[in-house]
Amino acid sequence: MRRLQLKNTWALRASKYLISFLIAFLILLMGVRFLNDKAWFLATFFVISAALIFFTYSVSKKTPGKYLLPGVLLLCLFHIYPAFYSGAVAFTNDSNGHQLSKDQAILAILDDSKVPIETVDSIRYTTLIEKSSKKVFILFEYPQSTFWLGNSDQVKQIQGNSSEYEMTGSVPNIEGFETVATSNASNYVNELQNISVTIDSGVSFQPQDLEILEASSSAFKYDFKEDRLTNTFSGETYTPNGNGQMQSSNGDILYPGWKANVGWKNFTSIITDKEIRRPLVAVLIWTFVNAFLVVFVGFLVGLILALIFNSPHLRSKRIYRTIFIVPLAIPSVLSVLVWAGLFTAETGVIDRLFHISTPWLTHPWWARLAVLIVELWSVFPYMFLIATGAIQAIPGEILEAAEIDGASPLKSFTQIKLPLVVRTLGPLLVASIAMALNNFGAIYLLTGGGPTFSNSNGNAGATDILISYTYKLAFNSAGGNNYGLASALSILNFILVGLISIYGLRKMKTMEEIS
Amino acid sequence: MNTLKTFNKRKLRFWMKKVLWRHLVGVVVIAFSVFPLVWMISGAFDVTGQLSTQQLIPMHKGLANFEQLFSNSEKPFLVWARNSMVVALSAAALQVIIGALAAYSLSRHRFKGRKLTLTTILIVQMFPQLLAATTLFLIINTFGKSFVFLGLGHQLPLILIFAGSALGVNTWMLKSFFDTLPTEIDEAAKIDGAGHFAIFSKIIIPLATPIFVVTFLLSFIGILNEYLITSVILGLNGDKMTIAVGLQQFIYGNYGKNWGPFTAGALLATIPVLTLFIFLQKHLVSGLVSGSTKG
Amino acid sequence: MKMQRLGVFLLGVSLVIFGSMVPAQAAGSITVWVNSGEEATYKAASAAWAAKNGVTVNIVAKCGLGDCGLSKLGPAGAGPDLFTATHDNTGSLVKSGVVTSLSSVINKSAYPSAVMSGVTFNYHQWGIPIAVSNIALATNLALVPSGAPKTWKELESTASSLISSGKANVGIVTHLDGYFMQPFFDSIGGYVFENKSGNYINTKNVGLYTKTLAKNASLMDTWLAAKLFDKSNTYDGSNFTNGKAPYSIVGPWSIAGLDKAGVKYEISAIPSINGGTARSFSGVTAVYLNRYAKNKFLAKQYLVEVVQSAAFSTAITTANNSYPANIEAAKSINPNSVAGKFGAYGAVCIPMPNVAEMNNVWTYWNGAFADWASGKAKFGAAMEAASNNLKTSLGS
């Protein structure tokens, strides 16, 4: 019997070893493919993961790793890495007009400033491949009898015969290069469409299609060593300013700019820039007020309902409980949108039902009330359930003892039930506050954060909480798609929620220890 | 005869004092709870499809909204429903499995990084993933350059992203539950010669089925709900959308809010979830209730 | 206000939208992003050319309105080759480096000068125009059998008599935001940026609160109170279609809904309060070339051979009820048709400014309208505040 068991364990272990090896190997292959495609971070991540998987399941004796590894790996890739990446963005000026790299931006400026040169005949070109490097070059004649061979990085003048070129489309005997027939030129489309050859006189040539070049002269010249753009017509020079843009001495800025590291500027602008600070303060206040109101009122309502419907005299408890928690079952995406429709002023169901005319979503204070109502609707079922649980967990002896002592229902509530329930549910309430501070859906889908404050630049509104404000900063083009600032605010958001949660949990812990 | 009447009368008065008012409160709360649901139903069957003329019992009843929902080739509801189901079911299942494994280890095993892991899980939850949407997009974009099926517009990367959230609130809830299972069970099984995984699969899992169901249900609903990251990864292509993203299209125009098909679709999306909820409400309630006391 | 939310939502979503062409695009295929709902039209209009040249033209419904998140997607290689956008985005598109100049490709003589000015920025042309759209006045013929009003006085008196007799809930169904209110704004003497013959040259000259406007501002307050404008600002089209409002400001996009509702209407120019015609903004839909397009040669060929053709312009505009930008195509429009009426009015409209500063404008201008509608401020005060805030944010 024992020998059988031993054999089983050997075979079992071998197959486990094999499976984990196969999985690790597969992931390693994926990592290699990423390496090939120059996706550095993913390549590193996958290779390390492969190693970890193999190690954890085949080599290591420690069991916790085997249970935790898949979750941890996924968490790192899709939560932790994006969080750090977003954090890094906070130190850049990533926003509209600053999305390109510096090289791309300068290329774009040069490109956009090109003034086409009209030529009598179109300039034909031939594609050539340098045999040693396999790089793509173009050969053309401009002006008459002057031949050029070049690509974006280099250009040289070569000897050639005009009439021969016209007949054959090429200059014979160019050492080290082979000509590509026009029919095959389409294989090099990717390179050809990005080639730009600039000759000494400053004229640039770019392929317009597989046969014709466009000649243009760029209004700007870029000196790579001096990092300076010069306007060839006006002589004005432009150098990088601290904000990822080329700026001249009298303040003119060239577009597009690039993504540049701006250090702590996004963070300091929260305090120094009035346009950011003023709406932000209002948004922050409402974020906290909203979260605390929702949780406390919701908890109170849930608790009172739990007490009412915990009575032994009530027989249809199950039915009430089932219907109460209906809000939890409706996808909040849809229910909030339905609420938004119901709250429409004058023509909406609520106004018509109660024969009132309230600008629910267009007036700041009514909008805030509407948001609170909808949030209360979403949260009270949950509060009701956990309160019910907490009340049921109160040992019956305590309540009986209180009744015998002659305590009134009110006293029994305030001095016994409430404190016990709060202590039990403490951590959950803290978690609820943390979630309420970030309750994006209820705000954004109902009011869009509006009605908008007229003194912000359209991003902050009366019902905006920090997360919806940040979202609009990042994704609202009117605000300039300011990812940099949005990321800085996300870090602020994270710190605030973190601090509150830690503080709340600590307080709960000390309360428990005291009792 | 008289005593019977007075007895009944007293019973009635007793009932009214203790019970009737509770029923009244209950009715008010029920009205509040089902308010949007009622109007969703009413709107779904109202063929005029206009919010401003909505009556509780629609004047012009009909199934036109549903017809519109199913026959729209650019807004294919059934395709959305299928997409939603595939993504939500697989992702929820993954979340439960990964979460359960991790929670079990965090509950039973004492190891060096345990406290750190628990704190990290808590902290990571506080960074709202929606703001990392851009990064997630860029990551999946890079995936797609090397492996087409992992790229944007496919469901697999989305499922994996959701699975990445497994180590979160779910894990905490599962861990609390596992903490309530006495370790003696594990000891007894170990003595019988069971390995650590055998203990987990043969003993813990059957005991934890109710909480697994609860976790799965909550995850499932949460993922069905999710529309921001879903739309980022799957895109606005008609037949790649999920229900949450697709239905928004009906009412997000300024020039012609199509309230009718929206409510019809919302109703159809709600019914299965609601039914599941009611069926499993016993487990759900006991899970949440017990979860609350174990903190 | 809702338009902004639409824009934000679309932008937020589409900002990180992907090109479903992310796996390496097959040589011989181009991707075009168009407005949602128009894929079929574009596909049909491109089919012949695609077949003849053996090119796959992937028409994808993504955005089609503005930047579409291309400033991030383009450099990341996840953008399309071509995309449609309204011309007011030209300035910001150029400033973010997303598009390439099409000056050497475009046939300037094929388009009217107003249309060309819309896609011109920094002396280059950046988009090939397809359609021109503008808002116009729709009159509910059941409520106003005499037809569209020729003067403002006529409009006002018809509306107020209908309102006071209880037949109508509101006079004009419209959004209370900058774009829709521009004709009224224009007729009381306001303007956004100084416009010299179609060119917005001086963005420091802001006209949100001019002397003329200040004098006429109280009229707007009176009309709001008299329910000529609907202060709930929800654009409830059912008022118009159900015969509870005599007039509505509509665009080509509204026509399908109006026809479906079966309402009898007439499209006409919007009369100016001070006589003449009020000038709305005209918008040019154009096709732009992504600087980081994968197949620039094919894309340019498509632009020259397909997009610039009159047939293409006709095909797209017939489907969405707008007016063709192409002069040749415009010749075949029946002046009595809906598109013809839009076009006739559009000829006197001014193109929306295409400078990047417009983003700031919408914010403050729309905010001012919202404050006025909700009763927070009187029209004059709201506009004055908006004007000052705008000037500050533009640094002037």
Q: Count CB pairs under 8 A between chains B and C.
A: 86
Residues C380 and C317 grouped into a single domain: no
| pLDDT band at residue A218 under the 50/70/90 scheme | confident
Under 8 Å CB-to-CB from B201, ≥6 apart: which residues? none
Q: Are B221 and A329 in contact (CB under 8 A)?
A: yes
**Does B17 have pLDDT greater than 80?**
no
| pLDDT band at residue C21 under the 50/70/90 scheme | very low
Q: Which of residues 86-115 of A touch C (CB under 8 A)?
A: 96-97, 99-101, 104-105, 108, 111-112, 114
User: B152 and C78 in contact by Cβ < 8 A?
Assistant: yes
Q: Which of residues 169-198 of B touch A (CB under 8 A)?
A: 169, 171, 196
More confident position, C205 or A372: A372
Closest approach of C202 to chain B, Cα-based (Å): 32
- C-alpha B107/C-alpha B124 separation (Å) is 19
Closest approach of B122 to chain C, Cα-based (Å): 28
Q: Give the pLDDT confidence score for residue A301 in this predicted structure.
A: 92
Percentage, residues of chain B above pLDDT 70: 86
Chain C residues inside the 8 Å CB shell of B52: 236, 238
Would the CA dihedral through A434, A294, B252, C349 be positive or negative? negative
Peptide bond into A143 cis (omega under 30): yes
Q: Which of residues 74-113 of C touch A (CB under 8 A)?
A: 75, 92, 94-97, 100-101, 103-104
Q: Give the pLDDT confidence score for residue A57 in this predicted structure.
A: 83
Specify the CATH architecture of the domain A269-514. Answer: Orthogonal Bundle (1.10)
User: C3 and B228 in contact by Cβ < 8 A?
Assistant: no
Closest approach of B285 to chain A, Cα-based (Å): 7
Which of A78, A351, A422 to probe by mutation at the B interface, max B CB count within 10 Å?
A78
**Does C23 have pLDDT greater than 60?**
no
Tell whether B291 is within 8 A of chain C (Cβ): no
Residues C329 and C375 grouped into a single domain: no
The H or E element spanning position A253 is: strand A253-254
- C-alpha A83/C-alpha A495 separation (Å) is 13
Burial of C12 (C-beta count, 10 Å sphere; 0-12/13-18/19+): buried
Q: How far is CA A171 from the centre of its chain?
A: 53
Find chains touching chain C: ≥3 CB pairs under 8 Å.
A, B
Residues C138 and C265 grouped into a single domain: yes
Residues C322 and C377 grouped into a single domain: no
Here the tokens at position C394 are 């533009």
- C-alpha A498/C-alpha B225 separation (Å) is 25
Least trusted range by pLDDT, from A158-172, C208-222, C268-282: A158-172
Residues C43-76 as b or e (16 or more Cβ within 10 Å = b): eebbeebbeeeebebbbbbbbbbbbbbbbbbbbb
User: C23 and B74 in contact by Cβ < 8 A?
Assistant: no
- C-alpha C231/C-alpha C382 separation (Å) is 15
Q: How far is CA C310 from the centre of its chain?
A: 21
Under 8 Å CB-to-CB from C382, ≥6 apart: which residues? A454, C368, C369, C371, C372, C376
Q: Give the pLDDT confidence score for residue B160 in this predicted structure.
A: 92
* Sheet architecture: strand order including C172-173: C172-173, C247-250, C136-140, C265-268
Residues C274 and C287 grouped into a single domain: no
Residues C209 and C152 grouped into a single domain: yes
Q: Give the pLDDT confidence score for residue A6 in this predicted structure.
A: 44
Percentage, residues of chain C above pLDDT 90: 20
| pLDDT band at residue C29 under the 50/70/90 scheme | confident
Q: Which residue of B has its CA nearest to A302?
A: B29
Which of B137, B155, B230, B239 to probe by mutation at the C interface, max C CB count within 10 Å?
B137
| CB-CB neighbours of A14 under 10 Å | 10
For the segment B106-141, what is each residue's pLDDT rounded down to a tens digit? 888 888 878 888 878 877 777 777 667 778 887 888
Q: Are A356 and A343 in contact (CB under 8 A)?
A: no
Chain A residues inside the 8 Å CB shell of B37: 326, 330
- C-alpha A429/C-alpha A389 separation (Å) is 14
**Does B2 have pLDDT greater than 70?**
no
- C-alpha A64/C-alpha B199 separation (Å) is 14
The CA-based angle A38-A43-A48, given to 5 degrees, is: 160
Residues C389 and C245 grouped into a single domain: yes
Classify C346 as helix, strand or coil: helix
Chain A residues inside the 8 Å CB shell of C363: 452, 457-458, 478
Burial of A448 (C-beta count, 10 Å sphere; 0-12/13-18/19+): buried
ipTM of the modeled complex: 0.81
For the segment A12-39, what is each residue's pLDDT rounded down to a tens digit? 777 778 888 888 888 888 888 888 877 8
Peptide bond into C324 cis (omega under 30): no
Closest Cβ–Cβ partner in A392, A474, A497 for B289:
A392
Residues C85 and C96 grouped into a single domain: yes
Exposure of A505 in the CB half-sphere (CA atoms within 13 A): 14
For the segment A95-125, what is each residue's pLDDT rounded down to a tens digit? 877 888 888 898 888 888 888 888 878 888 8
Q: What are the sequence ranges of the domains in chain B?
A: 2-65, 76-294
Place of tokens 């928004």: B248
More confident position, A375 or A400: A375
Residues forming a β-bridge with C388: none
Q: How far is CA B221 from the centre of its chain?
A: 2
Q: Give the pLDDT confidence score for residue C49 in this predicted structure.
A: 92
Domain B76-294 has CATH 1.10.3720.10: yes
| pLDDT band at residue C99 under the 50/70/90 scheme | very high
User: B255 and C253 in contact by Cβ < 8 A?
Assistant: yes
**Does A406 have pLDDT greater than 80?**
no
| pLDDT band at residue A292 under the 50/70/90 scheme | very high
Closest approach of A363 to chain C, Cα-based (Å): 7
Which of C10, C14, C15, C20 to probe by mutation at the B interface, max B CB count within 10 Å?
C20
**Does A291 have pLDDT greater than 90?**
yes
Tell whether B6 is within 8 A of chain C (Cβ): no
Instruction: From residue A456, give the alpha-carbon distance in Å to each of A470, A478, B53.
Output: 13, 11, 36
Classify C321 as helix, strand or coil: coil
Percentage, residues of chain C above pLDDT 70: 88
**Does A275 have pLDDT greater than 80?**
no
Least trusted range by pLDDT, from A156-165, B214-223, C50-59, C384-393: A156-165
**Does A1 have pLDDT greater than 50?**
no
Chain C residues inside the 8 Å CB shell of A275: 393
**Does A2 have pLDDT greater than 60?**
no
**Does C12 have pLDDT greater than 70?**
no
Q: Give the pLDDT confidence score for residue A371 in this predicted structure.
A: 94
CATH code assigned at C71 = 3.40.190.10
User: C15 and A345 in contact by Cβ < 8 A?
Assistant: no
Cα-Cα-Cα-Cα dihedral of B20, B26, B30, B32, to 10°?
110
**Does A417 have pLDDT greater than 50?**
yes
Q: Which residue of C has its CA nearest to A107?
A: C97
Exposure of B251 in the CB half-sphere (CA atoms within 13 A): 26
Closest approach of C39 to chain B, Cα-based (Å): 10
| pLDDT band at residue B286 under the 50/70/90 scheme | low
Q: Give the pLDDT confidence score for residue A373 in this predicted structure.
A: 94
For the segment C63-74, what is each residue's pLDDT rounded down to a tens digit? 655 566 777 778
| pLDDT band at residue A515 under the 50/70/90 scheme | very low
**Does B73 have pLDDT greater than 80?**
no
- C-alpha A246/C-alpha A105 separation (Å) is 9
Tell whether C18 is within 8 A of chain B (Cβ): yes
Which residue type sits at A346? E
Distance separating the N- and C-terminal Cα atoms of chain B: 55
**Does C196 have pLDDT greater than 90?**
no
Q: Which residue of A has its CA nearest to B52?
A: A347
Query: How many domains does chain C contain in total?
Result: 2
User: A454 and C370 in contact by Cβ < 8 A?
Assistant: yes
More confident position, C253 or C14: C253
Least trusted range by pLDDT, from B49-58, C48-57, C149-158: B49-58
Residues C63 and C52 grouped into a single domain: yes
**Does A346 have pLDDT greater than 80?**
no
Cα-Cα-Cα-Cα dihedral of A246, A247, A253, A259, to 10°?
40
Segments forming the whole domain that contains residue C180: 134-281+355-393
Chain A residues inside the 8 Å CB shell of B285: 321, 325, 385, 388
The mean pLDDT of B266-273, rounded to a whole number, is: 85
For C25, list phi and psi in degrees, rounded to 5. Answer: -70, 140
Q: Give the pLDDT confidence score for residue B287 in this predicted structure.
A: 63
For the segment B138-161, what is each residue's pLDDT rounded down to a tens digit? 788 888 878 878 887 788 999 999
| CB-CB neighbours of A7 under 10 Å | 10
**Does C4 have pLDDT greater than 50?**
no
Residues C256 and C384 grouped into a single domain: yes
Nearest to A477 by CA among B236, C176, B249, C89: C89
For the segment A482-504, what is each residue's pLDDT rounded down to a tens digit? 888 888 888 888 888 888 888 88
| pLDDT band at residue C22 under the 50/70/90 scheme | very low
**Does B52 have pLDDT greater than 70?**
no
Place of tokens 């094999």: A18
| pLDDT band at residue C138 under the 50/70/90 scheme | very high
